[in-house]
Amino acid sequence: MIGLSPLSVALLTAVVTGTSAAILAWRERPEAGATWLAVLLVGQVWWTTFLVFELEASTLAAKSLWYDVQWLGVVIIPVGWLLFALEYTGRERYVRPGVVAALLVAPAATVAVVAAGDPWGLVVVDRAVASTPVGSFLRVDTGPWYYVIAAYTYLLGLFGSLPILQLVRDDARPFRGQSAALLVGTAAPWASSVFHLTGAFPVAGLDPTPLAFAVSGVAYLFALTRFRLLTLAPAPRRRARQLVFEHLHDPAFVIGTEGYVIDLNQSAADTFGVDRRDAIGEPADAVVPRHGDIAGEAADQSPLSITGPHGQHPYEVTVRRIADGHDRPTGEVVVFHDVGEYLGQQQRLDVLNRVFRHDVRTETNLIHGYADQLRADPTDERALAVVKESASRILDLSERTRTASELFNPTTEAPPPVALEALVDEAAATLRAEFPDVTVIVEDDIPAVRVPAVLRVVTESLCSNAARHNDGASPSVWLGATVDGGWIDLSVADDGPGIADAERDVLRRGTETPLEHGSGLGLWIVKWGVDQVGGSVSFAEREPRGTVVTVSVPIRDDGEAGR
């Protein structure tokens, strides 16, 4: 330090703190903002270092050289600050090569003019050596571009400070501390520069900005060490919130206070067939399904039935108010929860519980009654046959219940689709083996398509019901399938007594009561299976006697039926 002026010694202090902070920032790469903070600090160190060279030079030519070299650091600082602020706060989508190149146009032009010797006097019109009590430095008369680049610097500084200011009132203490330290670090040199430009600094002609870099270096070092700047950055949190909204399984809409759609996630677009680009800015009544039925947080909590591209589903709707920092309403988030699977599971549990309680108790009572007869007369063949039939029905019920539980368990992976022709032939063969007295007729021209494997159980259940409850002298069952308008229609017909209206009503309602319920699991398995693949089931009378049950399943674009 021997021979250096007091001002140079003070500037070297800023160089040391700035270099230390730059090294710490560089070591944190690739954390959000680390590279650009290092660039900013290198710019400060560059400017300060060559200002020391300028102060210690003895001739006008030497001072002018070092003054010109300083410009490289001067113009890179605001660019580094803005890009750091954007990346650090999670706005990295703006930090693209095109944006960086655009920001560097004015700094590059400044450096080019200075490197060319500024023949037009755009940056500096005149130079002279000024001797003051604090040292000898270059006093310049500035040109018009000097004020342009100064205004550009302040503008980038302002834009970079805005996202940092938003963290000052953050709920997390580390982010508040980080943002406060960053704002002190950038405010000190910017305020010093304003003092210089307005002539308020007591040493006329001396730009005190590099002196303020000592304050910046200390502030950045404090943020890096005390508040874990870069190692605990808010960028992932902002991005995570965006990802949670974007990848939320439930459809969600953001609606402004004026009733227009502000945003919607991909699930909403896919579920309700909405084009995201066209929907934003449109009235909520024209975009959000049944928006008129949703009255804020006081909306009816009963599920809303909504028809979309994937069929009709029941939804529960949650409305959450959005408020700003002053608790003023700015909009609301409307989330649709598909409760179809939940309601279906609840329905299946209710039916299985009813069937077990009713059918098992009935068969058990029957077995108990005939067991007493067998105790009195072990040779009673009729009693023995009834006991065996009841036990067989309990086993059959157990098997059907197990099939339903496994088939409609949402955690069970769906088996691959099967050929419709093979499915029909298999169902017919099973029916002939189980009911040899029943005539089974398969219609010609079964379509060569593949259908969901769940239709195998649906078809077997329909065939079993058609044969089991057929009281005709020569019972018959017919199987057929057609393709109609993008749907596969699989029909099972019989010449039995038909299906009672009460049974059909229970299936249409989808619920049972103690007085109104189905006679077993067969038709429920049919309904559940069809619902699972987005299809429907219909009933028709067959002349002169019997019923035709038709299962309709949509065909996918790839030629396979179902979803």
Task: Encode pLDDT of 51-79 as tens digits.
Answer: 888 888 888 899 889 989 999 999 999 99
The DSSP string of 134-166 is: TEEEEEEEE-HHHHHHHHHHHHHHHHHHHHHHT
Nearest by Cα to 107 from 143, 141, 156, 67: 156
Q: What is the mean pLDDT of residues 139-143?
A: 85
Please work out, in degrees rounded to the nearest 5, the angle formed at the alpha carbon of residue 270 by the alpha carbons of 265 and 273.
115
Task: State how far the Cα of 369 lies from the Cα of 317, in Å rounded to an integer.
Answer: 53
Q: What is the mean pLDDT of residues 348-373?
A: 71
Nearest by Cα to 444 from 473, 463, 426, 421: 421
The DSSP string of 301-342 is: -SPEEEEETTEEEEEEEEEEEEE-TTS-EEEEEEEEEE-HHH
Task: State how far the Cα of 545 lies from the Cα of 557, in Å rounded to an integer.
Answer: 38
Task: State how far the Cα of 300 lies from the Cα of 295, in Å rounded to an integer.
Answer: 8
pLDDT value at 126 more than 50: yes
Task: Identify residue 59 by its one-letter amino acid code.
Answer: T
State the pTM of this model: 0.54
Q: To the nearest whole percent, how much of the chain has pLDDT over 90? A: 12
pLDDT value at 517 more than 50: no
pLDDT of residue 305: 65
pLDDT of residue 77: 92
Count Cβ atoms below 10 Å from residue 247 Cβ, excluding itself.
10
Nearest by Cα to 223 from 21, 435, 466: 21
Tokens 């029916």 locate to 431
| Phi, psi angle pair for 247, to nearest 5° | -100, 10
Count Cβ atoms below 10 Å from residue 115 Cβ, excluding itself.
12
pLDDT of residue 40: 92
Count Cβ atoms below 10 Å from residue 278 Cβ, excluding itself.
10
Point out the least confidently predicted range of 169-178, 292-301, 323-332, 381-390.
292-301
Cβ within 8 Å of residue 456, ≥6 positions away: 418, 423, 426, 427
DSSP 3-state assignment of 260?
Answer: strand
Q: What is the mean pLDDT of the chain?
A: 79
Count Cβ atoms below 10 Å from residue 470 Cβ, excluding itself.
21
Count Cβ atoms below 10 Å from residue 240 Cβ, excluding itself.
11
User: For the chain, how many helices (H) and strands (E)?
Assistant: 19, 14
pLDDT value at 436 more than 80: yes
Alpha-carbon dihedral angle through residues 521, 525, 531, 533, given to the nearest 10 degrees: 170
Higher pLDDT, 223 or 45: 45
Task: State how far the Cα of 504 lies from the Cα of 332, in Å rounded to an integer.
Answer: 42
Q: Would you state the structure tokens that stand for residue 256, as one six-digit string? A: 């402004």
Q: Would you state the structure tokens that stand for residue 468, as one six-digit string? A: 């089991």
Task: State how far the Cα of 479 lies from the Cα of 494, in Å rounded to an integer.
Answer: 9
Nearest by Cα to 83 from 72, 96, 65: 96
pLDDT of residue 194: 76
Q: Which of 96-110, 257-271, 399-413 has the highest mean pLDDT?
A: 96-110
**Structure confidence by residue, pLDDT tens digits, 407-428:** 666 666 667 888 888 889 998 9
Task: State how far the Cα of 441 lies from the Cα of 494, in Å rounded to an integer.
Answer: 10
Higher pLDDT, 543 or 326: 543
Cβ within 8 Å of residue 454, ≥6 positions away: 407, 414, 529, 532, 533, 562
Task: State how far the Cα of 52 lies from the Cα of 136, in Å rounded to an integer.
Answer: 11
Nearest by Cα to 130 from 63, 211, 218: 63
Task: Identify residue 176 by its one-letter amino acid code.
Answer: R
pLDDT value at 101 more than 90: yes
pLDDT of residue 296: 47
Q: What Å distances lie between residue 418 and 387, 421, 452, 482, 525, CA to CA?
A: 39, 9, 6, 16, 19
Nearest by Cα to 334 from 298, 301, 293, 288: 288
